[in-house]
Structure formats: structure tokens, C-alpha cells
Amino acid sequence: MILVHIQQISTSQILIQSASSLATQLQKSFGVLSFVDNDELILVRENELKAFFSGLNLPAAKIFVRHSKNNTVSDVCEELEALFLFIQLSDSNSKSIRSGLNVCMDLRIPYILFKDSFTQLDMTKVILPIGFLEEEMEKAQFASAFGRFCGSEVKMLLANDYGTKAATNAERMSLLFDKFEFKFTIHKASKDSFKVEKEAIQVAANIHAGIIIVSASRDYGLDDIIFGPKEYHVVKKSPIPVLLVNPRGDLYALCD
């Protein structure tokens, strides 16, 4: 299921259309999630959502309204076995972005903080920045899915590092992509692994890409807590959606 967390119904049309279109391309069901402050408002919100959807020419969506005190976004995603999550940013200020990232820290699925200012999601071109960390490989499966099911052209932006780890990640991703029939290319970035995601924003603008895939931080250091993690700055500056992938700690083990 492609799940959308709506905060402001009246400004969510582009978000809903984007998520519904992606669900159709990926051949998945489509659901809408909304939270209310008390049980008496659940039926009211359900009726509001049904009325809103009745005015849209879209495939039927499953509607889920939950009490905010008894449910978390992560819990609902696991319960519904969601594959992707869109979260509406009706206000894309710094506080809202930080709040959205905090809500998603425990997610085991990719997610997009979707600003109300975005146009409809265009999957024609996907930007995939590649750094030296081993968790970069987790992004490959989603880029591959977009290439296979959405007809996306994947442009890999390889960090300009002195070492070979980023290049090794790119090579491993290429081996995966070669198994399927979609177009992908590798371009050498001018920035290193610490800044390649920011460069991806400019590259995306230059080639009119529709989405950037970025690995979220595994842990927050002091600078991340004070100034915001790297994904905060990418989401804040990007004029197009950013698909964030949380590193899976259970996929890595210490070696002797």
C-alpha cells in the first residue's frame, strides 16, 4: 500500500494525486491516513475525507482515521503493511520539517515529506546521489522499482571522493540495475560524499528531475541536533520531492 498522511485536507489535492498515480504505476493499493484528537471526531474526519475524494477523479482510496494519542505513524504503517509513506507538509517551515523527520525516524519504509508547494510528482527522471556509506545500497531497490514500474530514467550522481567506497557502491547498484530493462547513467559529482546530496538538488533542477532519493542519517550527532541533520537541509532546500530511506540497523553487523 502507498499511504498518505494528510494534515490539511483542503490543500492536499496535489499530494493525493501524486501518491495515487505512484500507487497505480507500482500496482499497489492506495490509502489515506489522518489523525484526530478524540474518538468523537473520527467519523467526522472520515466523512470529510470521503466528501473531498468524491470531487476527485481518482481510483478509490482506503481511508484510515486514528486517535493521535493511541497511534503513531510508524505503528500504523506496520499495521497496514505500507510500502511507501507520503507525509503532507502544509507548512514547510523549519519546525514542520523537523517535526516530520522526527515522526519518521523509526520507519522501516521510505517516505516523502511532501510540501503543498510541490507540483504533481513526475517520475520521468530520478536522481540517485551515491556516497561511501554501506547503507547507500538500500536506496538501490527503490530506484530499481521506479525504473521498472514507472519507466523512470535513473541518474546516479557519484560522490567525488578520494577513496573507492562510493565507486564500489555505484558498481554494485549498476549490477542490480543491469538485471532489468530501464535506463540508468552514472555521472561524477563535483562534491564529495558529505555534500553530494546538496549537489543533487542543483542537478535535479538542471535536468528537470522529479525526485531525489537520499539516505537519512543513522544517528544524530550534536551538530545534527542543533542545526538539523543532512536530510533536513536537503528537504528544506529542494524544490522537488525527496524520498528518504532510513538505514536499517538490523542489516549490519560488526566484523571481527
Task: Determine the pLDDT at residue 188.
Answer: 96
Least confident of 73-77, 90-94, 153-157, 180-184: 90-94
User: Of 17, 23, 29, whose CA–CA distance to 81 is shortest?
Assistant: 29
Note whether 2-115 and 125-251 share their fold: yes
pTM of the model: 0.91
2-115: CATH class: alpha beta
Q: What is the mean pLDDT of residues 126-145?
A: 96
Sequential DSSP letters for 146-178: HHHHS-PEEEEEE---SSSHHHHHHHHHHHHHT
What lies within 8 Å, CB to CB, of 76 at 6+ separation is 3, 33, 64, 66, 82
Domain residue extents for the chain: 2-115, 125-251
Q: H or E stretch including 111? A: strand 111-115
Partners of residue 113 on adjacent β-strands: 87
All three cell numbers of 245, joined, read 530511506
CATH architecture, domain defined by 125-251: 3-Layer(aba) Sandwich (3.40)
Q: What is the mean pLDDT of residues 89-114?
A: 90
Q: What is the pLDDT of residues 38-80, one digit of tens each?
A: 989 999 999 999 999 988 888 889 999 999 888 899 999 999 9
